[in-house]
């Protein structure tokens, strides 16, 4: 069981701080009812979107929920129901809601490692519609930053990436100087879901540049790539940031349009297309010659690259979202029918060509560069359905 609190909100005033007290009770165990479909967390074209983020402040942990609206919330009333679930804790706490503007609200909760909930669920009601957002916070998969915190002028950076014209404010405990490591590295795309062999490589990255930055500093990244910020260079603790081109998450350059085709092409096809990354004709020829109909090809192209853009928005971590395991599944299979979170895993459900359920299970893994890192539990049984999905792309039979 978990206690629920309703909060009526009006988002007409900018930069207002409201504080709500709530009494949160957690039972000895959570029921199967807690495992709900939280697909809303992975929708990007709906009126309401939400992203969770956990901040390490050294002696405490803060969970943020960034709620964004496609329309201004001025005269409409909004209700948010907050549900916190953990094993056997009872606690008093306060919730802070900061209204950033009429299209964004930020909620935050403070915890210790002992009081951190297993699940946090927001049920939001607005304009007679309901959205449910749920996230889980397994400490075993959380990589601390030693209190180092990245944000823009006001808010945490929820996405883990910024565009190259942006700057980031680096807050450190004790106002210490920051060491920034820059990696100009091309990370590999995800392996197919039925490929069981481990990835090749040493597992280490070469540092391209080391910068020493003053405390409480607005940092404008000099080039795109991966940055890792530390206060203590002798530890593994720190915060990472992916810096992208100014059109990201939308793919636009020929290289960005070509590379994701690795998921739906043969090895020889991919090599032929990628031989000249300045020649868009080779890219167009692949789609047209493979599908046949120009009209069907245009529809497939639009859908494919829309999937890439959504994968980049949702799953970017230390590498582009489409290259991650979840991004690969989203790119090829499209949005799932349901997403169910359970401790340190999430299960995506699809229906296969025979209308039977097909599940992809992702496990949250601790990663030095990202607290949004999930790895697919690969299995040989995906083989047939995966190639059928690829055939649908190549024939233009997309939804």
Structural domain ending residue among the three candidates 226, 244, 262: 244
Phi/psi zone of residue 299: left (φ > 0), alpha (ψ -120 to 50 degrees), beta?
A: alpha
In a domain, 11, yes or no: yes
- How many C-beta neighbours within 10 Å does residue 53 have? 20
- How many C-beta neighbours within 10 Å does residue 232 have? 12
Looking at the predicted structure, is the pLDDT value of residue 16 above 50? Answer: no
In a domain, 364, yes or no: yes
In a domain, 142, yes or no: no
Domain shared by 211 and 281, yes or no: no
Highest mean pLDDT among 134-143, 190-199, 349-358: 134-143
Domain shared by 10 and 129, yes or no: yes
Over range 372-381, report the average pLDDT. 95
Mean pLDDT, the chain, as a whole number?
Answer: 85
The parent domain of residue 269 ranges over 254-395
36 vs 20, residue with greater confidence: 36
In a domain, 191, yes or no: no
How far apart are alpha carbons 55 and 53 in whole angstroms? 7
Q: What are 126-184's pLDDT values in tens digits?
A: 888 999 999 999 999 999 998 888 888 777 888 889 999 899 998 887 778 899 999 99
Domain shared by 133 and 162, yes or no: no
- Residue 28 pLDDT class (50, 70, 90 cuts): very low
In a domain, 305, yes or no: yes
Q: What are 76-106's pLDDT values in tens digits?
A: 678 888 888 876 554 445 567 777 788 888 8
Domain shared by 274 and 233, yes or no: no
How far apart are alpha carbons 295 and 290 in whole angstroms? 13
How far apart are alpha carbons 87 and 34 in whole angstroms? 12
In the chain, how many domains are there? Answer: 3
Domain shared by 232 and 102, yes or no: no
In a domain, 192, yes or no: no
Domain shared by 11 and 118, yes or no: yes
In a domain, 249, yes or no: no
pTM, two decimals, is 0.89
CATH assignment at residue 128: 2.60.40
Is the distance from CB of 114 to CB of 26 less than 8 angstroms?
no
325-333 vs 294-315: helix axis angle to the nearest 10? 150
Phi/psi zone of residue 282: left (φ > 0), alpha (ψ -120 to 50 degrees), beta?
A: alpha
Looking at the predicted structure, is the pLDDT value of residue 25 above 50? Answer: no
How far apart are alpha carbons 366 and 144 in whole angstroms? 10
pLDDT of residue 354: 61
- Residue 75 pLDDT class (50, 70, 90 cuts): low
Domain shared by 99 and 182, yes or no: no
For the ranges 60-64, 95-99, 273-277, 290-294, the lowest mean pLDDT is seen at: 95-99
pLDDT of residue 356: 78
Domain shared by 260 and 369, yes or no: yes
Domain shared by 319 and 239, yes or no: no
Instruction: Lay out the sheet containing 357-364: strands in order across.
Output: 338-342, 345-351, 357-364, 374-376
pLDDT of residue 13: 40
Domain shared by 203 and 303, yes or no: no
Domain shared by 385 and 296, yes or no: yes
Domain shared by 161 and 294, yes or no: no
Write the secondary structure of the chain as one string of H (helix), E (strand) and C (coil): CECEEEEEECCCCCCEEEEEEEEEEECCCCCHHHCCECHHHHCCCCCEEEEEEEEECCCCEEEEEEEEECCCCCCCCEEEEEEEECCCCEEEEEEEEEEEECCEEEEEEEECCCCCCCEEEEEEEECCEEEEEEEECCHHHCCCCCCCEEECCCCECCCCEEECCCCEEEECHHHCCEEEEEECCCCCCCCCCCCCCCCCCCCCCCCCEEEEECCCEEECCCCCEEEEEECCCCCCCCEEEEEECCCCCCCCCHHHHHHHHHHCCCHHHHHHHHCCCCCHHHHHHHHHHHHCCHHHHHHHHHHHHHHHHHHHHHHCCCCCHHHCHHHHHHHHHCCCCEEEEECCEEEEEEECCCCCEEEEEEEECCCCCCCCCEEECCCHHHHHHHHHHHHHHHHCCCC
How far from chain centre, in Å, is Cα 134?
13
């Amino acid at each position: 069981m978990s206690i629920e609190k309703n909060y009526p909100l009006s988002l007409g005033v900018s930069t207002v701080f409201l504080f709500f007290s709530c009494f949160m009770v957690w039972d000895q165990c959570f029921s199967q009812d807690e495992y709900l479909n939280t697909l809303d967390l992975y929708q990007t074209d709906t009126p309401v979107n939400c992203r969770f983020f956990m901040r390490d402040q050294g002696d405490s942990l803060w969970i943020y929920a960034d709620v964004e609206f496609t329309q201004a919330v001025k005269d409409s009333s909004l209700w948010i129901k907050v549900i916190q679930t953990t094993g056997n804790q009872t606690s008093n706490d306060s919730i802070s809601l900061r209204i950033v503007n009429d299209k964004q609200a930020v909620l935050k909760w403070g915890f210790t490692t002992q009081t951190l909930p297993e699940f946090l669920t927001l049920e939001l009601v607005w304009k007679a519609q309901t959205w449910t957002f749920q996230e889980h916070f397994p400490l075993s998969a959380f990589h601390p930053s030693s209190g180092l915190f990245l944000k823009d002028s006001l808010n945490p950076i929820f996405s883990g990436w910024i565009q190259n014209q942006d700057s980031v404010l680096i807050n450190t405990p004790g106002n210490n100087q920051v060491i920034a490591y820059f990696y100009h590295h091309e990370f590999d795309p995800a392996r197919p879901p039925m490929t069981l062999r481990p990835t090749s490589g040493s597992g280490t990255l070469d540092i391209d540049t080391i910068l020493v930055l003053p405390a409480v500093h607005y940092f404008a990244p000099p080039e795109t790539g991966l940055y890792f910020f530390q206060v203590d260079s002798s530890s593994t603790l720190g915060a990472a940031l992916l810096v992208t081109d100014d059109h990201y998450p939308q793919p636009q350059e020929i290289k960005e349009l070509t590379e994701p085709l690795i998921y739906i092409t043969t090895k020889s096809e991919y090599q032929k297309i990628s031989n000249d990354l300045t020649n868009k004709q080779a890219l167009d020829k692949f789609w047209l010659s493979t599908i046949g109909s120009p009209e069907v090809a245009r529809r497939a192209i639009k859908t494919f690259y829309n999937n890439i853009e959504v994968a980049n928005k949702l799953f970017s971590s230390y590498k582009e979202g489409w290259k991650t395991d979840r991004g690969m599944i989203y790119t090829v299979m499209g949005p799932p029918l349901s997403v169910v979170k359970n401790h340190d895993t999430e299960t995506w459900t699809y229906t296969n060509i025979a209308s039977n359920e097909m599940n992809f299970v992702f496990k949250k893994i601790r990663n030095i560069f990202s607290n949004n890192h999930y790895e697919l539990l690969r299995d040989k049984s995906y083989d047939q359905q995966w190639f059928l999905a690829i055939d649908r792309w190549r024939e233009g039979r997309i939804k």
